[in-house]
Amino acid sequence: MSETTTTSATDDETLLARARAALWQAVSAGDEPAAMRAVFAALDDGAATEHVLLEVIAAVQNRVGEEWAAGRLTVAREHAATAIHERVIAAMAHHAPAPPPGSAGAVTVACVDGEWHALPARLLAEVLRHRGHRVDFLGAHVPTPHLIAHLHQTAPAVLALSSSLPTRLPAAHTAITAVQAIGIPVLVGGAAFGADGRHARLLGADAWAPDARAAADVLGRGLPRPSPGAARLTVDDLPHLGDQEYTLVMRDRRGLVRDTLTALEERLPAMRAYTGAQRERTAEDIAHIVDFLAAALYTDDDRLFTDFLLWTGDVLEARRVPARYLDPALAAMTEHLKDFPRTLALLARGRAALRARDTRPPVPGPASHHER
């Protein structure tokens, strides 16, 4: 590598680091004009659009999630920061339009049914546009029947499907099999599919990518079309679902949340003094535990559930709520679900993971586990 190349790379990183610092300061203060200036200054100084999208905006958004999880950023401020980033990306499209589409195939980019975290998909769509793809960006929460109808009309070369929350994996599985049945390959990405792509492979996706740049590289090489035909049955991919535990737990979800909340009030006398808002938030937390339990049953993946519990423990303690308060909820669920052996084993592993949890000061990671 020449000295000029090394110097140029160093200069680029300095430029991007300066932009990250300025953008973080702007979004943490809710200052949209300052956020625009930070990004456009980097572009005007020669930073590549893809680098600004992924190494400035995406990096700052990741920090926003970390700060929320650590209790240093409110939900409202997190939502405001995300909205600012979305408007900055839209403004970038007019500031530096993408080149005309080249020979690369058309790509539809969409979020899984029930997935409202659209920013990762939006970043991918913009990266693909700047690499010469024709992109049809559908945004957040695309119900699968409507997605299939749209794909019949537009016939893209590939569907890029995004999901951040593992609780959306059953919906992702439905979409993957339905889209493949009409002869369109599916590339998936997002935290829901695991840092190693294990859930993408489990659900039969044609390809997986850990980030937008890797996804663009995969699509640049092209994906073969699957043979059209009848959609696979769920149990063809996931034979463990034959025990019906996932279906029965989801069917009883509301009752399980209600009974767990009642049991907690009996086991934890302090809860009797909770305000209505505190009680509602506790019910929401229990509902999230049930949803992740169900997702772990669907995928037969213990780590999905235990990782969520450990992350939740860190988030609770960052808000000065002892993580040990999770165990009574799991104990109550164990009593309620005593007739489901696979579910009981998951709950036991979750309780064991919490007991073995480090007592270190918690530093929660990005909030991909949780709906905010």
- Does 283 lie in the same domain as 205? no
- Does 231 lie in the same domain as 111? yes
On whether the pTM is more than 0.75, the answer is yes
* Domains held by the chain: number: 3
Looking at the domain assignment, is residue 364 inside a domain? Answer: no
- Does 125 lie in the same domain as 77? no
Looking at the domain assignment, is residue 285 inside a domain? Answer: yes
- Considering 27, 59, 93, which residue would you say is the last residue of a domain? 93
- Does 164 lie in the same domain as 229? yes
Q: Reply yes or no on whether the pLDDT at 340 is more than 60.
A: yes
- Considering 220, 237, 254, which residue would you say is the last residue of a domain? 237
- Does 193 lie in the same domain as 227? yes
pLDDT tens digits, one per residue of 87-119:
999 999 887 666 776 666 799 999 999 999 999
- Does 297 lie in the same domain as 278? yes
- Considering 237, 254, 272, which residue would you say is the last residue of a domain? 237
**And the tokens for 200?**
């993408």
Q: Which residue has the tokens 């400035």?
A: 56
Looking at the domain assignment, is residue 7 inside a domain? Answer: no
pLDDT band with cut points at 50, 70 and 90 for residue 279: confident
Average confidence (pLDDT) over 163-184 = 97
- Does 149 lie in the same domain as 122? yes
Which pLDDT score, from 0 to 100, does residue 2 have?
A: 47
Report whether 30 contacts 77 (CB < 8 A): yes
- Report the 3 state secondary structure along the chain: CCHHHHHHHHHHHHHHHHHHHHHHHHHHCCCHHHHHHHHHHHHHCCCCHHHHHHHHHHHHHHHHHHHHHCCCCCHHHHHHHHHHHHHHHHHHHHHCCCCCCCCCCCEEEEECCCCCCCHHHHHHHHHHHHCCCCEEEEECCCCHHHHHHHHHHHCCCEEEEECCCHHHHHHHHHHHHHHHHCCCCEEEECHHHCCCCHHHHHCCCCEECCCHHHHHHHHHHCCCCCCCCCCCCHHHHCHHHHHCHHHHHHHCHHHHHHHHHHHHHHHCHHHHHCCHHHHHHHHHHHHHHHHHHHHHHHHCCHHHHHHHHHHHHHHHHHCCCCHHHHHHHHHHHHHHCCCCHHHHHHHHHHHHHHHCCCCCCCCCCCCCCCCC
Looking at the domain assignment, is residue 369 inside a domain? Answer: no
Residue 309 domain boundaries: 240-359
- Does 41 lie in the same domain as 113? no
- Does 313 lie in the same domain as 191? no
Looking at the domain assignment, is residue 126 inside a domain? Answer: yes
Cα(47)–Cα(334) distance, integer angstroms: 54
Looking at the domain assignment, is residue 214 inside a domain? Answer: yes
Q: What's the CATH code of the domain at 347?
A: 1.10.490
Q: What's the CATH code of the domain at 221?
A: 3.40.50.280
- Does 129 lie in the same domain as 40? no
- Tell me whether residue 65 is exposed, middle or buried, using C-beta atoms within 10 angstroms of its C-beta: 0 to 12, 13 to 18, 19 or more: buried
- Does 122 lie in the same domain as 57? no
What does residue 226 show for φ and ψ, rounded to 5 degrees?
-70, 160
Which pLDDT score, from 0 to 100, does residue 1 have?
A: 46
Encoded amino acid at 242, one letter: G
The most confident of 5-14, 120-129, 274-283, by mean pLDDT: 120-129
Which pLDDT score, from 0 to 100, does residue 8 have?
A: 64
Q: What's the CATH code of the domain at 58?
A: 1.10.1240.10
Looking at the domain assignment, is residue 372 inside a domain? Answer: no
- Does 293 lie in the same domain as 221? no
User: Of 24, 13, 109, nearest to 61 (Cα)?
Assistant: 24
Q: Reply yes or no on whether the pLDDT at 308 is more than 60.
A: yes
Q: What is the mean pLDDT of the chain?
A: 91
Looking at the domain assignment, is residue 56 inside a domain? Answer: yes
